[in-house]
């Protein structure tokens, strides 16, 4: 089970993580949460839920390339300059969806952090590992966060195509991007094995 997710009977997934892996995953997820940002304000218990649902969000895409990757425009052709109508549609779509999308990503990230905080790797020589067990809903939240972490790192590494990631394997050890590349590749492996647990059994 070490290093990859395995399916649990009845749904969900499990993985064994050592102390270093837990620390890396937690630190990366906390950084992701900081990038996504806090809620706009405390929810008012008396607030009309429909009013909150239709509260307007931003209409322009984020300036940060990583956030732009997490919250892309919904209209237009990738890599092409959108026309005026596509920009108008994208702005309208973003205005009514980005707040909810941010909230979902934030909730997923917080669920990942909480699940990691509940782990206690075994003490002793060699470090031992703790087994993380996820419900089907927990698996979905982890999958969303792993995907968001890879998108964010890909933006920082300026990876726009999966084929470009092949060159990352050949980076010299003294390249300052190497730790970020190793995290990107490792997260990809975790994501792939978690997806496999969600398939039919």
Q: Each residue of 24-54: pLDDT tens digit?
A: 999 999 999 999 998 754 444 455 655 555 5
Angle formed at CA 110 by CA 109 and CA 113, multiple of 5 degrees: 90
Cα(102)–Cα(166) distance, integer angstroms: 31
Counting residues of the chain whose pLDDT is more than 90, the rounded percentage is 50
Q: Which among 191, 192, 156 has a CA at the least distance from the CA of 177?
A: 156
Average pLDDT over the chain, rounded to an integer: 83
Q: Could you read off the pLDDT of 138-193 as tens digits, one per residue?
A: 999 999 999 999 999 999 998 877 656 667 778 888 888 889 999 999 999 999 99
pTM of the model: 0.83
CA atoms of 48 and 166, how far apart (whole Å): 50
């Amino acid at each position: 089970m070490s290093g990859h997710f395995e399916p649990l009977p009845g749904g969900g997934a499990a993985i064994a993580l050592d102390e270093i892996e837990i620390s890396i995953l937690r630190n990366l997820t906390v950084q992701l949460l900081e990038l996504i940002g806090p809620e706009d304000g405390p929810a008012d218990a008396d607030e009309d839920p429909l009013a909150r649902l239709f509260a307007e969000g931003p209409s322009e895409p984020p300036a940060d390339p990583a956030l732009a990757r997490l919250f892309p425009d919904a209209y237009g052709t990738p890599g092409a300059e959108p026309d005026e109508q596509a920009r108008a549609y994208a702005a309208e779509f973003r205005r009514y969806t980005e707040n909810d999308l941010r909230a979902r990503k934030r909730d997923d990230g917080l669920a990942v952090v909480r699940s990691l905080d509940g782990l206690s790797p075994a003490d002793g020589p060699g470090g031992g590992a703790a087994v993380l067990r996820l419900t089907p809903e927990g698996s979905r939240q982890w999958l969303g966060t792993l995907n968001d972490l890879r998108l964010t790192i890909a933006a920082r590494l300026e990876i726009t195509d999966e084929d470009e990631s092949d060159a990352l394997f050949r980076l010299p050890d003294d390249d300052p991007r190497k730790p970020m590349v190793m995290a990107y590749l490792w997260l990809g492996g975790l994501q792939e094995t978690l997806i496999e647990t969600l398939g039919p059994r």
